């Protein structure tokens, strides 16, 4: 195995993969995108995308990664040299780079709220006051950058010291804790005045929305983002796997857990949205305006919850961010023959700097600088989730579905001779590519 690192146990790998999947995407992004896309119809289409496209593509990434035992670009090259397939890997490196740039910014917001509860500053905000508490913060210059840099410094530090030590341990403890906190909060949210309205928003679809291509585009983008798909993060992780791990059950676990986290987060958020009369389409700030209202309503116990919650979300974001950085670092290590330390520092610094315009775009100094009508952060988020990730996922599906010999793909995935195997292949060949292509086209023409 030419001396590459490996995961010690199967559990270690599942924890790392779940750690990559569960992050800001489930809580921050799921809520704001569901809110902007009208709730129920979005949720249904999103779940369809997760199971019809996300799950098969995730298994394809696991299969590619473990077969290649190398970084994303080389995983394509070694299997198919002198073809266009390695474009999939290159696109992945590009996506990971762009996504991490703004991911660090949002994680910085989380740290700021954690800190504001630690010092008590957030506890004394009057009811209804978090809208301006939040806008004041993101509208400043030094604040968002400071917290973004702090978060990125931790990410770079962990990648600098290697893959196994950093990731496995923290996920084992903190992921379950985050689940518990979210469930407790969800139960509390169900007692709020706006509960019925919030649940109706999230779970009863407005049928007219099904004819809006924009909802499909958001749903597929969110499905890729939340499962860490289409950019070789999962290829990179599974390249550290021993040949004995059962990939299909690992993929199923990741998808189920990730989806549960998102739905429970939705049950926390939307009842509160209707209780505190905030617009569900408030945008990327949604959870930062809403959740603190809930915590403050809970009195002094709420302070404890708030501190714990923001801490755990920051930890979840950390393991996702590590997997994002790991994609470009693994690539740079092989491509430029850099050491892990050198790659982590160089790539990490570049990504952090690229995040600065995003940090300043939410009402700060770059607030009026719009690209395609959107602030910088929203633009990078949209381009990656709706275009580069989707395109990456398309290439991955086609690569395994059509580019590999069927028997070889089935063997590597551990599905040869199983009916599930042939269903999987046909999803990779037809269903997923067609779905993704239609959505990309709808997006371009609308
Ligand atoms: N899936 C992560 C989340 O939901 C984000 C992510 C995207 C991580 C792509 C790695 C790759 O927060
Ligand atoms: Na996720």
How many Å lie between the centroid of ligand 1 and the Cα of residue 416?
30
Inter-residue contact 320 to 303 (CB < 8 Å): no
* Nearest residue to 216 via CA among 445, 35, 26, 41: 41
pLDDT for 279-301, tens place per residue? Answer: 999 999 999 999 999 999 998 88
**What is the rounded CA–CA span in Å between residue 385 and residue 37?**
15
The verdict on the CB of residue 18 being under 6 Å from ligand 1 is no
**What is the rounded CA–CA span in Å between residue 320 and residue 315?**
9
pTM attached to this predicted model: 0.94
43 confidence band (pLDDT: 50, 70, 90) = very high
In the chain, the number of structural domains is 1
68 confidence band (pLDDT: 50, 70, 90) = confident
Output the six-digit token pair for 320: 């996702």
**Strand residue runs (E) in 340-433:** 370-371, 374-375
**Is residue 1 one of the residues assigned to a domain?**
no
How many CB atoms neighbour CB 8 within 10 A? 12
The verdict on the CB of residue 316 being under 6 Å from ligand 1 is no
Q: Which ligand is nearest to the CA of 258?
A: 2
**Is residue 379 one of the residues assigned to a domain?**
yes
**Is residue 2 one of the residues assigned to a domain?**
no
- State mean pLDDT over 263-277: 97
How many CB atoms neighbour CB 407 within 10 A? 11
- Which H helix or E strand runs over 304? helix 299-335
Inter-residue contact 390 to 439 (CB < 8 Å): yes
How distant, in Å, are the alpha carbons of 117, 118, 129, 237, 424 from that of 125?
10, 14, 6, 42, 52
Output the six-digit token pair for 178: 């985050």
Which pLDDT belongs to residue 120?
A: 94
Inter-residue contact 307 to 117 (CB < 8 Å): yes
Output the six-digit token pair for 187: 């139960």
The verdict on the CB of residue 99 being under 6 Å from ligand 1 is yes
Inter-residue contact 206 to 41 (CB < 8 Å): yes
Inter-residue contact 397 to 436 (CB < 8 Å): yes
b/e for 280-319, b at 16 or more Cβ within 10 A? bebebbbbbbbbbbbbbeeeeebbebbbbbbbbbbbbbbb
CATH, residue 138: 1.10.4160
Q: ipTM score of the complex?
A: 0.98
* Nearest residue to 274 via CA among 246, 288, 294, 244: 294
Ligand 1, atom 6: closest residue by C-alpha: 228
Inter-residue contact 225 to 65 (CB < 8 Å): no
Quote the domain boundaries for residue 328. Answer: 10-445
**Is residue 4 one of the residues assigned to a domain?**
no
**Is residue 301 one of the residues assigned to a domain?**
yes
**Is residue 3 one of the residues assigned to a domain?**
no
Q: Which ligand is nearest to the CA of 260?
A: 2
pLDDT for 317-357, tens place per residue? Answer: 999 999 999 889 988 998 899 999 999 999 999 999 999 99
442 confidence band (pLDDT: 50, 70, 90) = confident
**Is residue 195 one of the residues assigned to a domain?**
yes
How distant, in Å, are the alpha carbons of 53, 178, 207 from that of 435?
8, 33, 20
How many Å lie between the centroid of ligand 1 and the Cα of residue 417?
33
The verdict on the CB of residue 202 being under 6 Å from ligand 1 is no
pLDDT at 1 over 50: no
pLDDT for 70-92, tens place per residue? Answer: 766 776 766 666 666 778 788 88
Task: List, in sequence order, the alpha helices (H) in 336-362.
Answer: 340-359
Look at the alpha carbons of 315, 320, 325, 331 in this order and tell me if their dihedral is positive or negative.
positive
Q: Which of 63-67, 175-179, 235-239 has the lowest mean pLDDT?
A: 235-239
**What is the rounded CA–CA span in Å between residue 12 and residue 34?**
31
Mean per-residue pLDDT over the chain, rounded: 91
- State mean pLDDT over 101-109: 98
């Amino acid at each position: 195995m030419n001396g590459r690192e490996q995961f010690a146990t199967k559990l270690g790998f599942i924890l790392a993969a779940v750690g990559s999947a569960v992050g800001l995407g489930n809580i921050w992004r799921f809520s704001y995108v569901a809110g902007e896309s009208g709730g129920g119809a979005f949720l249904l289409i999103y779940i369809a995308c997760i199971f019809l496209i996300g799950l098969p593509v995730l298994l394809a990434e696991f299969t590619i990664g473990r077969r290649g035992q190398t970084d994303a670009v080389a995983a394509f090259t070694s299997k198919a040299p002198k073809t266009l397939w390695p474009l999939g890997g290159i696109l992945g490196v590009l996506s990971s780079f762009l996504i991490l740039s703004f991911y660090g910014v949002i994680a910085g917001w989380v740290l700021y709220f954690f800190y504001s509860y630690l010092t008590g500053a957030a506890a004394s905000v009057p009811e209804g006051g978090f809208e301006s508490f939040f806008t004041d913060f993101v509208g400043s210059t030094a604040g968002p950058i400071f917290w973004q840099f702090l978060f990125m410094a931790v990410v770079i530090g962990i990648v600098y010291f290697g893959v196994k030590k950093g990731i496995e341990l923290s996920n084992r403890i903190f992921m379950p804790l985050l689940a518990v906190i979210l469930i407790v909060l969800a139960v509390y949210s169900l007692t709020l005045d706006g509960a019925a309205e919030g649940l109706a928003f999230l779970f009863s679809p407005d049928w007219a929305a099904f004819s809006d291509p924009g909802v499909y585009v958001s749903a597929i983008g969110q499905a890729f983002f939340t499962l860490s798909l289409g950019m070789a993060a999962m290829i990179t992780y599974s390249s550290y796997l021993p040949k004995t791990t059962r990939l299909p059950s690992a993929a199923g676990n990741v998808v189920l857990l990730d989806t549960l986290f998102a739905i429970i987060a939705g049950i926390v958020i939307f009842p509160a949205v209707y209780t505190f009369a905030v617009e569900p389409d408030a945008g990327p700030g949604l959870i930062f305006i809403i959740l603190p209202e809930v915590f403050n309503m809970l009195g002094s116990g709420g302070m404890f919850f708030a501190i714990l919650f923001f801490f755990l979300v920051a930890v979840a974001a950390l393991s996702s961010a590590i997997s994002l950085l790991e994609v470009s670092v693994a690539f740079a290590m092989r491509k430029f023959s850099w050491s892990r330390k050198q790659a982590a520092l160089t790539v990490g610094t570049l990504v952090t700097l690229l995040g600065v315009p995003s940090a300043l775009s939410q009402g700060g100094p770059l607030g009026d600088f719009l690209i395609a009508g959107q602030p910088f952060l929203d633009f990078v988020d949209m381009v990656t989730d709706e275009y580069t990730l989707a395109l990456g996922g398309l290439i991955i599906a086609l690569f395994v579905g059509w580019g590999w010999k069927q028997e070889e793909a089935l063997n590597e995935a551990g599905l040869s001779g199983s009916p599930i195997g042939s269903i999987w292949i046909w999803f990779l060949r037809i269903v997923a590519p067609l779905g993704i292509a239609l959505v990309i086209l709808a997006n371009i023409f609308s």
